[in-house]
Amino acid sequence: MRTFTKRDTWYIEEELNVMEVVYKADAEITLSGTLNFKALGKRLGKDMKVVKDAVSNLSQDLLTEFEKTGEITVEGHKLAGDDIQLARKLKVQDLQGVSRPLFLGRYWHINGTYDQMSNTHHERPVWVKRDVVPLYVFHTGKTRWVVSKRVDDGSKCYAYVQDTGYNPVKVSGHWCCVDSDGQWRADPSVLCSPMPASNDPFVQLRTSLESEMEQYGFNNMDKLRQLWKRLDFNGNNIVSLAEIDKLVVEMVAGGMWPSWLNNKPALMRAYKKTILKDGDGDDWVTKREFHNLLLNIFWFNKLWQIFEVVDSGDDRRIDVNEFIRGMSQLGLHLSPSEAQEQFNKIDSNHGGQVLFVEFCAYVRSRVHPDGNPSFDADIMSGEKCNKVMRQSHGNTATRELKVTRKVVGKVP
C-alpha cells in the first residue's frame, strides 16, 4: 500500500479529478462493509438479505477487528478475506458540531435551484428542484409551505414554515427543520430568497420532465412497487445491471416505455450515478435506490437524445464544429470564440473530442451552476447544488427562490 504525502497532491488531484485536496490531522475515519454478492451468492442463498443487513449494521469495533484478522462470523456464516469489502469514509465537523461528509454543506439535502412547474397544488404554485432526483416546494392547502420529496399533504417533509399566503418568499416566520435530536425547531439560517430566473434550454429540459415521468409512472408509488416486484423476481431486494437492462428492453418491447429509453450509454450513466452517488457504493441496486435509478434512466436518456442530435458524425463523440451547430439548434447561439471557450471547458483531456460522459458534466454545470465539479468524477449529473425556485407573477415577471436545510421527519 502506498503512503501519500502533501508532495503527492498533484497526483491525487489528477487521478481523482478533484479541485482541491484538504489535509486534516484530526479527521475522523469510519469503516463501512459491503458484501461481495458475486462471490457469496450461491453460498448464502436465501440468507443473503439477512447477512447483508447485518453487515451494514456492524459496529466500528467489529469492522476494525475484521480488518485486522480477516475473519468474522455474521448470522452463523463465517466470512473471510474478500467476502466483505471495506470502505473508508472521512467525516468532518460543521459549525454546529454535527458530522457531515466532506465537501457537503450543512444543508446539502435541500439546498438547490427550484423552478416553477406548470401545474399547481391547492391553487398555489409548485417548484421542483433542478436535480435528477427531485424535491418539491408546495403549500399543503392549510397552513404550511413544505419542502418534500412528493407533492402530497406534506405530513412528511424536510422543512416547513407556517403561512397561508401564496408566496414562500414573503413568509414572516422561520422555516422549521428536524434538529440533531429528532425535534422540530425553527432555524433562522434557513432562507427562501428570490433569485434571477434562467432561460437556459437545459434547465427548461429538466423542469419539463415532470409531466413525462408522471405519464410513465416514475413517480407513482403503486406502479413503482409493481415494477420492482417484476424486476426483483427472486425477492432478495437487490438487482444487477444485467437485470435492469433486461427490464428496460422488456418495457420498451412491450410498448409500456418509449423506445428512446433504451440506450446502453445512458443506462450505464444512470446505473453508475445510482450506485456510486445515490446508493451505498456497491454494484447492486437495492429497493431503496430503485426510484432514483428510474429517474436517472429518464434523465440520462434525455441527454443521450440531445447528444445524438449534436453528434452529426454518429461516432459517439463531438468535435468543436458539431458542438457549435448543435448548440445553435438548441437555442444557444455562441460566437466562434465563445463556442471554442465552452468546448475547451468540456473537453477536459484536451483531445479535441467530447464523449457522452463529458457532455453530461457540461449539462450539469449549466443546470446546477453552484455545484461542486468534484462530485461529477465519472458519474456526471446534477448531484450537489444550491437551491432556488422560480415564482411567477401573473403573465409577467418570473422569479426564482432559494431555500435551505435537510432531514426528513413527521411534521408535528
Tens digits of per-residue pLDDT, 218-236?
878 888 889 999 999 888 8
Q: What is the pLDDT of residue 248?
A: 94
Alpha helices in 311-373, H assignment, sequence order: 320-329, 336-346, 356-367
Per-residue pLDDT tens over the stretch 259-288 = 999 999 999 988 988 887 776 677 889 988
pTM of the model: 0.56
Return the bridge partners of 116, or none.
127
C-alpha angle 405/408/409, rounded to 5°?
Answer: 125
Would you say 405 and 107 are in contact if contact means Cβ atoms under 8 Å apart? Answer: yes
The domain locations on the chain are 6-93, 114-197+401-410, 201-375
pLDDT category at 396 given cuts 50, 70, 90 is: very low
**In this structure, CATH architecture of domain 201-375:** Orthogonal Bundle (1.10)
Rounded CA-CA distance 384/198 in Å is 18
Confirm if 338 and 329 have CB atoms less than 8 A apart.
Answer: no
| Residue 89: per-residue pLDDT | 66
Can you tell me the distance from the alpha carbon of 311 to that of 189, in angstroms, rounded to the nearest whole number? Answer: 45
**DSSP for residue 275:** I
> Which amino acid, 101?
P
Using only C-alpha atoms, the chain has a radius of gyration, in whole angstroms, of 23
Average pLDDT over residues 175-187: 83
